[in-house]
Structure 1
Amino acid sequence: MTREEFIAAIAPAAVKLRLEGSPLFPSVRIAQAILETGGVIPAWNNLVGYKVGSGVLTPYWKGRSVNKSTWEVYDGGETRVRADFRAYDSVEDSFRDQDLLFDLERYRRVREAKTPGEQIKALLAGGYATDPDYAKKLDQLTEQYALTRYDKEVDDMLEQLMEQIRLLQEEVRALREQKAMTEIPVWAQEAVQAAAAAGILDTTTGGSYDFYRFVTILHRLGLFDAKGQAG
């Protein structure tokens, strides 16, 4: 699998989760997956380097794990260690489980980040990795593969969604106005009948609420006499 194929394979899930409210920008999520896996989807589908940790089960992690070799940075030096990593049924499950991790207070800055760059720094500050160059590496990957295009994709989709909502609201308003044109309000019926008797209004045509208010005001001012003529 080439790096481009890897990105194409996981980008849809990164975009989908962001649209659903995930705190991670797609660009950050993809860059992190590249860094954590080297651009290879492992059989256990853990693309985020999420260790077993407390071992508490979640809706997306059922308790399976794999023991793998990894490296950490302690006191400025790299140390090779083995650790238990969570195993998932799918890549999307690994992303969703990671989002649960980001609910912790230590990752508040990750959730509140306004830009991918700010979020990358917040990941390191929150202790997601021991590598002091973690943020720098994520920045480099983001730039190298133009990953912010996926953030823009989300923004464009949200903009389209907002436009669809606006058009739907206009349609609802139009339907309400249409209903108003075909139904005479109870409070205006007497005035409409008087106006019709005066021969100045065809009650079958209907009218807007503002029109009915106007007719009602004229009626209350006595501009239609009892014989059905205009006053």
Structure 2
Amino acid sequence: MASRKDFIDLIAPIAVKLRLEGSLIFPSVRIAQALLETGGKINAWNNVVGYKVGNGVITPYWRGDRVSASTWEFINGEQVTNVPGDFRAYATLEDGFRDQDLLFQSARYAAVRLASTPQGQTQALQNSGYATDPAYASKLNGIIATEGLTFYDEEVIRMLENLQAQIEALTSRVQSLEEQAALTIIPTWAQAAIDAAVKAGLIDTPEKGSYDFYRVLTVLHRKGII
């Protein structure tokens, strides 16, 4: 039997990946929601977020497959068990999460998208009516705290910071290579073109330029353009 840790280890990489790709759902919230909705057990239809069929509109991640299962809901303030429901079935867990992200693009979930903290997002999920349980947000927050799930939110930040550092390092390296590639002495064959360009007011006398820079000016000069 898979443990709670095994469940988290399976869901977390997907949650982090989607967040890095632009999902507005905090990984901690996504993992906690999957734990709460399933009790830490992957169902055969790969729907771990309790997403019902709803309007039945086909999406890039849901092709209309469904599973009927009983669940429980709060109706008129009271918990009612064995409530029948039709749930979306997916080929993969990732498809389920991506389909959920499409759902969260609706106006109803604007507060979910705008939440700046995991706790704000769990409360927004409850306020938006994602679940009928009046303790939905507090249950999610309890799971996040108990399992230390904000680690995955912080991991996203670390990965983005590392990526930014790599980009800056590469940019600096490219600039260095470009400077090394620049010629520090004007080639003799390009001098006439440089003089003509300076006389025409097109450029100032350069201290250095790339080979291509000198070559283009020379071609333009020989064609009588400068």
Tell me if structure 1 keeps the 8 A contact 2:182–2:208. Answer: no
Three-state SS of the structure 2 residue aligned to 1:60 is coil
Match of 1:115 in 2: 117
TM-score, normalising length: structure 1: 0.80
Tell me if structure 1 keeps the 8 A contact 2:184–2:207. Answer: no
CA offsets, 1:161-184, max 9 Å, x none?
Answer: 000110111112112212323674
Q: CA RMSD in A?
A: 2.2
Match of 2:87 in 1: 85
> What is the identity percentage for the equivalent residue pairs of Structure 1 and Structure 2?
57
Cα distance in 2 between the residues matched to 1:132 and 1:210: 72
- Matched letter for residue 94 of structure 2: E
Cα distance in 1 between the residues matched to 2:166 and 2:185: 29
Residue among 104, 127, 130 paired with 2:129: 127
Q: Flag the 1:183–1:126 CA change in 2: closer, same or farther, 3 A.
A: farther
Which is greater in Rg? 1
Q: Flag the 1:183–1:60 CA change in 2: closer, same or farther, 3 A.
A: farther
Match of 1:211 in 2: 207
165-174 vs 177-186, which moves further? 177-186
Q: Flag the 1:180–1:106 CA change in 2: closer, same or farther, 3 A.
A: same
Match of 1:226 in 2: none
Tell me if structure 1 keeps the 8 A contact 2:70–2:84. Answer: yes
CA offsets, 1:107-127, max 9 Å, x none?
Answer: 111111111111111111111
List alignment gaps of at least 5 residues for structure 2: 196-204, 210-226
TM-score, normalising length: structure 2: 0.81
Match of 1:137 in 2: 139
Matched, 1:100 2:102: yes
Tell me if structure 1 keeps the 8 A contact 2:122–2:140. Answer: yes
Cα distance in 2 between the residues matched to 1:85 and 1:114: 29
Cα distance in 2 between the residues matched to 1:136 and 1:183: 70
